[in-house]
Structure 1
Amino acid sequence: MLLVYTHKISPRLKYVFKHICTRVLGIKVGFTTKIEEFIAHDNMKMSYTKQQLGNEFFVKSHDILFEQGLSEIEINIQNWDETKCFFFNGDKSAIPFDIFSAAFYLLSRYEEYLPHVKDEYGRFIAIESLAYKEGFLEQPVVDIWAYKFKEALQKQFSKFKFPTKKYSIKPIIDVPSAYNYKLKSIIRTLGGSIRDLTRFKFKNLYIRFVVILGFQHDPFDTFKYIINKQKQTKFKFLFFFLVGDYSTYDKGINPNKKKFASLIKRVADYSRVGVKISFFGIDKISILKKEKSRMEDILNTTLKASRQSFSKLNLPEAYRNLVELEIQEDYTMGYVDHVGFRAGSCTPFLFYDLGYEVQTPLMINSYHTMDYALLKNRSLLDKKKVLNEIINQVKQVNGEFIPVFHNYTFNDLGNWKGFKELFNIILESVDEA
């Protein structure tokens, strides 16, 4: 166990040390404010405070972990070997930056509580982030810092054996609508047909009716292919089905349709299934509660995971609602149009509520690329290059790579040509690890 001496054991301090030490590096960590207890500890130990006690392993602390609420924080980004960091702490420290304070700033999403420009859907966008502005969005900096910390510890405590961790993947299959034409109401089918006619999309109109009549496969129905892929890997895929009501933003299948419910159950036989929260369910707990209940009735089990429509997050309210409804995991944290690490880490972390100053039980699984972000690269070769680069970043720190693909991504039509191949690269990346 690593024992940390500090002048004050705050909730923030415990939260971030447990993420870096336990979740990333796999070692237990304890805390003390008593010098006698610190001196008596005969295992790995360090001090984290303003002044070094003697010649012990020492990291000079920044104030952020001992504060409450939000404050104006001056951030000066500096280079640190192959990466970047902030909160420089001078020459006396065992490492040149207070990585714990820097990691807390990123993991708590401190900057998302501050005034910022939102997009048309009310989302925090990548170009507003510190990571994007300073050029480290495509690095899991929190994990990189953790391994630098480990390296420094090993020099001083050479007899301590650190556990090893392996690279892993957790593919997300987002299902806003299971079918493009099937299981739609007569009104929706007529509306879609009229829209095709007025826009002279006669091919779409033809496909619509041959699919409805059963002569052709629905282009969104790729579930057989995905399940076959699931059978080829030990890593469970996680499907998120939309079961919310039809609205301006969400145009899924009516959850009361028996064939739709049967599809969800069939997928759940092979993979994990969570709920895709509708756009209006993100902010209204009454709608969220209804959608959670619907999915639990279909699955006949307690719902554990969620993902929010359009990857929209309103912090802290959206996560507080999930905590209140006892949802254990969320997969919304990420950027739709940029590859990278929104919270700076490729290790799942608990949501820290800055408003209440408390660590919650909600595990945040930040995703690192979405199929739409890869669309920005025109050629398949460029898409492969970007994907391999982000995978290699995760591999270097033995993290967990979380990509988001949609069910229609696998139809190999139009813009989605070649995406089956990209998905295979992700699945095969584990064998190469």
Structure 2
Amino acid sequence: MILIYTHKVTPRVRYIFKHIFTRILQIKIDFTSKVEEFVAYNGPKFSYTNVPLGKEFFVHSNDLLFQQGVKDVEVLIQEWEGMPCFFASMETSEIPFDIFAASFFLISRYEEYLPHIKDVHGRFSATESIAYQNGFLEKPLVDIWAYKFLEVLKQKFPDFEYETRSYQYISTIDVDNAYAYKHKSFIRTIGGFLKDALQFKIFTIWGRLAVLLNLKKDPFDTFKELINFKKINDVKTIFFFLIGDYTTYDTNVSASKTKFKLLIKDMVDYARVGLHPSYYTMTNISLLKKEKERLEAIINMPIKRSRQHFLRISFPETYQQLIDLEIEEDYSMGYSSHVGFRASTCTPFYFYDLDFEIQTPLKVFPFALMDTTLNDYLKLTPKQSLGKIRDLKNEVKAVNGVFITAFHNESLSNYLRWRGWKRLYGSMLKIAGN
């Protein structure tokens, strides 16, 4: 165990120290604000405060962890052994910045509470983040800092023993459209034909007709293949089902359709299932509650995990809603437009509510990449995407983190813009699983 002296043990201090030491480094810690207790302790210890008590191992503290609420924060980027860092420390500090305050700033998503320009969907944009603006979005910087800090601790306490965590991989599948053409209403089917005809999409018209006449399988019905991939590669897989009412942005099959219900029930037998809250649930708890209860009625078990459709999160409202409805895990922490680490960590963490200054029971699982980001935003080919996936996986593996990918059932269809992506998914599982 490591004993940490600090002049005040605040909820923020407890939260971020536990994340870095307990979750990332697997090291037990305890706190004291009594100088005599700190001096008397004979094991590994260090002080985290404004000035050192004596000649002990000392980390100079920034004020951020001792404040309440959200204030304007000046972030000046410097460098620590080739890695960007901020919140510079005094010379007597063992490291040149406050790793704990900087990590808290990134993981709490402090910058998303500050004034910023939202995108067309009301989201915080990747380009607004300090991670993007300073070139570290594709690095799990908090985890990298933690391991570098561990090396400094080991030099000071060479006999200290600790355990190392293991790398993990989780494949997540969003089901925005379970079927491309089947089980849609008569009006939607006719509307689809007319839209294709007006745009002279002859191939799509034939494809739609062939599926409806049962001459070929619906291209988005890739669920058997996904389960086979899961079994062959022994990969933890989670399906997030969109079951909201039809809107411009929510176009899945109606949750009242028997075939759709049977599909969801079937998936529960093979993998974990979560809710994919619809577009307008971001700040609408009654709509979110309705959809959660709808999915629970289909699978006859409580829903404990979710990922927001379009990744629409508003801090802290969206997460407060999830907590109120007893959702335990959220998988929305990422960007649609860019790959990388939105919270600069590849370690699942508990949401810290800056409104109430508490660690909440909601565990956030940050994902590193999404298929639509690679294909639609970055315009990468499947081959180029595999290189990007390998790079991100290597970043996570280097710190023994949790590598999470987000794909859609339709991206395994090899249909239209998804040609070649089924093979990519299989290759990704082999790379990510090792």
Normalised by the size of structure 2, how large is the TM-score? 0.97
1:419 deviation in Å? 2.1
Corresponding residue number in structure 1 for 2:397: 395
How is 1:416-431 mapped onto 2 (pairs within 5 angstroms)? 416-430=418-432
* Aligned-residue offset at 1:43: 2.1
Report deviation, 1:430: 4.8
1:56 match: secondary structure: coil
Q: Cα offset for 1:269? A: 1.0
Shift of 1:381: 3.4
Q: CA deviation at 1:100?
A: 0.3
Pairing 1:186–2:186 present: yes
CA distance, structure 2, for counterparts of residue 357 and residue 131 of structure 1 = 24
**Matches of 2:70 and 2:235 in 1, distance apart?**
39
2:313 aligned residue:
313
Matched residue type, 1:344: S
- For residues 195 and 381 of structure 1, what CA distance do their matches in structure 2 show? 32
The reply on whether 1:110 has 2:110 as its aligned counterpart is: yes
Q: Name the amino acid aligned to 2:63.
A: D
Task: Tell me which residue corresponds to 2:335.
Answer: 335
Q: CA offset at residue 421 of structure 1?
A: 3.3
C-alpha distance 95-425 of structure 1, shift in aligned 2 (>3 A): farther
Q: Following TM superposition, by how much is the alpha carbon of 1:431 offset from its aligned partner in structure 2, in angstroms?
A: 5.2
Q: Which moved more, 1:120-129 or 1:204-213?
A: 204-213
- How do residues 6-85 of structure 1 correspond to structure 2 at under 5 angstroms? 6-85=6-85
CA distance in 1, matches of 2:198, 2:427: 41
2:202 corresponds to 1:202: yes
1-side partners of 2:141 and 2:294: how far apart? 39
Moved more, 64-73 or 226-235: 226-235
Q: In the alignment, is the contact (CA less than 8 A) between 1:377 and 1:383 conserved in 2?
A: no
CA deviations on 1:167-225 (whole Å, 9 max, x unpaired) are 11111101111001111111111111121222222222221121112111111111011
Which residue of structure 1 lines up, in the alignment, with residue 351 of structure 2? 351
Q: CA deviation at 1:251?
A: 0.7
Residues 5-29 of structure 1: per-residue CA shift (max 9 Å, x gap): 1000111111100100011011122
Q: 1:379 to 1:199 in 2, by over 3 A?
A: closer
Equivalenced residue count is: 432
In 2 relative to 1, CA 424–55 (structure 1 residues): closer, same or farther, beyond 3 Å? farther
SS in 2 for 1:402: strand
CA distance in 1, matches of 2:382, 2:430: 17
The 2-side partners of 1:200 and 1:385 are apart by: 35
Consecutive unaligned residues in structure 1, runs of 5 or more? none
Aligned-residue offset at 1:377: 4.2
1:154 aligns to what? 154
Give the secondary-structure state (helix, strand or coil) at the position aligned to 2:111.
Answer: helix
Return 161-170 or 271-280, whichever deviates more.
161-170
Decide whether the 8 Å contact of 2:72 with 2:114 is kept in 1: no
Q: CA deviation at 1:354?
A: 0.8
CA distance in 2, matches of 1:407, 1:106: 32
Distance 1:42 1:424, change over 3 A: farther
CA contact (8 A) 2:87 2:97 kept: yes
Tell whether the 8 Å contact from 1:337 to 1:370 is kept in structure 2 after alignment. no
Residue type of the alignment partner of 1:395:
K
**Structure 2 residue 417 is the aligned partner of structure 1 residue 415:** yes
Cα distance, 1:415 vs. partner? 2.9
CA distance, structure 2, for counterparts of residue 154 and residue 234 of structure 1: 36
| Contiguous gaps of at least 5 residues in structure 2 | none
Q: Which residue of 2 aligns with 1:242?
A: 242
- CA shift for structure 1 position 245: 0.6
Cα deviation for residue 32 of structure 1 reads 0.9
Q: Deviations over 1:126-174 (max 9, x none)?
A: 1111010011111100000000111111111222211111211111101
Structure 1 Cα separation of the partners of residues 357 and 371 of structure 2: 35
> In the aligned structure 2, how far is the partner of 1:280 from the partner of 1:2?
46
- Distance change >3 Å, CA 4–CA 337, structure 1 → 2: same
Partner amino acid, structure 2, of 1:387: I
Secondary structure at the aligned position of 2:274 is classed as strand
8 Å Cα contact 1:167/1:430 also seen in 2: no
Alpha-carbon contact 2:328-2:361 (below 8 Å) kept: yes
Post-superposition CA distance 1:212-256 (Å, at most 9, x none): 121111111110110001112333111100011111210111111
CA distance in 1, matches of 2:43, 2:432: 35
CA distance in 2, matches of 1:313, 1:384: 28
- Residue 424 of structure 1 and its aligned partner are, at CA, apart by 2.8
- Of 276-285 and 192-201, the range deviating more from structure 2: 192-201
Q: Secondary structure at the match of 2:187?
A: helix
